[in-house]
Amino acid sequence: MAQTGPDETVAPLSGSTQDRTIADASRYPWSAIGRVNVPGVSQRSHCTGALIGERLAVTAAHCFYDRRTQRWARPDNVYFVAGYQRGEFVAFSKAERLVASPDFNGAKWTHPDNYAHDWALIVLKEPLGLQAGYLGLFAVNDAWVSRLRDTPDAMVLAGYPRDRAHAISLTSGCGVTGATSDRALLMHGCTIQNGDSGAPLAIRLQGGGLAAIGVNSASGVRTNRGPVNTAVPIATILPQILALLKETEGLEALDAPGLRYGAPPAAPG
């Protein structure tokens, strides 16, 4: 069952997020996370997204599909608000282009076949990553999934859940619990709610930064281990991300195999 949607039953691992920690959205790395506002799409007020480059952000594909009209949102109707907190924000931009998974079926977005394709990239008109900073990227392999399963405190999910829609909040210690047998999805135990769609599932780095390893998509997904929450691995999106980073920043190579470090806001002047 997909995690976001106005007419969906609350899934087993969804629930109140009142025990989550409120972060200071004006400070990096939280400033690189923002609300994705799409007026009118499925009566949904917002999703969560993360800056992963100067003009590039990542979120969930279903945030942009209106099932009532059976149409995708227009880029000029999509707003990324970085570091949003109770009416204040670090920076914002309209989208210039939306790049959603070609295998995502918007009309059947709660179908299990969609979960692994529930990702979208936003090419922004403005270089928000210079003003707000951007997160790193880490395409985790099987060995890292096992390592992270044993070290849940290394993980954090940050988003704008419905019951705290105007403040970014963090859930830590829930960690990665594994991956599906086909490696198409990461499984995690973080409590999520409407509005957390597209939130980055990230690993904490030394020095206070974050590297996104997945994009939060669905909750209560039935597996042979019971219901789990899922995230689309950055590893499966990496070719598309790299193509857009080369286009928008001229990036030629990662810092290490499967790894790009994030960057704080550029110094003024």
Question: Given the DSSP bridges, would you call strands 136-138 and 210-223 parallel, antiparallel or unpaired?
Answer: parallel
Q: Looking at the domain that runs over 25-135+236-254, which CATH code has it been given?
A: 2.40.10.10
Q: Which residues lie across from 212 on neighbouring strands?
A: 137, 202
pLDDT class of 2 with cuts at 50, 70, 90: very low
Peptide linkage before 75 cis (omega within 30 of 0): no
Contact 135, 32 (CB under 8 A): yes
How many angstroms separate the CA atoms of 24 and 15, rounded? 23
How many angstroms separate the CA atoms of 140 and 154, rounded? 13
Which range, 55-69, 163-177, 241-255, is most confident? 241-255
Please check whether the two domains, 25-135+236-254 and 137-233, share a CATH topology. yes
pLDDT class of 47 with cuts at 50, 70, 90: very high
pLDDT class of 18 with cuts at 50, 70, 90: low
Question: Given the DSSP bridges, would you call strands 47-51 and 33-37 parallel, antiparallel or unpaired?
Answer: antiparallel
Query: How many CB atoms within 10 Å of residue 98?
Result: 19
Topology, domain 137-233: Thrombin, subunit H (2.40.10)
Predicted confidence (pLDDT) at residue 113 exceeds the cutoff of 70 = yes
Say what the pLDDT of residue 1 is. 24
Contact 117, 60 (CB under 8 A): no
Q: Count of alpha carbons within 13 Å of 201, Cβ hemisphere only?
A: 33
Predicted confidence (pLDDT) at residue 8 exceeds the cutoff of 60 = no
Weakest-pLDDT range from 1-10, 118-127, 152-161? 1-10
pLDDT class of 5 with cuts at 50, 70, 90: very low
Contact 36, 214 (CB under 8 A): no
Between these two residues, 80 and 193, which has the higher pLDDT value?
80
For the chain, give the secondary structure using H, E and C.
CECCCCCCCCCCCECCCCCCEECCCCCCCHHHEEEEECCCHHHCCCEEEEECCCCEEEECHHHHEECCCCEECCHHHCEEEECCECCECCEEEEEEEEEECCCCCHHHCCCHHHHHHCCEEEEECCCHHHHHCECEEECCCHHHHHHHHHCHHHEEEEECCHHHCCCCEEEECCCEEEECCCCCCEEECCCECCCCCCCEEEEECCCCCEEEEEEEEEEEEEECCEEEEEEEEHHHHHHHHHHHHHHHHCCCCCCECCEECCECCCCCC
- Provide the residue ranges of all domains of the chain, joining segments of one domain with +: 25-135+236-254, 137-233
How many angstroms separate the CA atoms of 83 and 28, rounded? 9
Between these two residues, 219 and 43, which has the higher pLDDT value?
219
Closest CA to 227 of 161, 153, 177, 155: 177
How many angstroms separate the CA atoms of 193 and 190, rounded? 10
Tell me the pTM.
0.90
pLDDT class of 12 with cuts at 50, 70, 90: very low
Say what the pLDDT of residue 17 is. 64
Q: What is the mean pLDDT of residues 227-244?
A: 94
How many angstroms separate the CA atoms of 109 and 102, rounded? 13
Q: What is the mean pLDDT of the chain?
A: 86
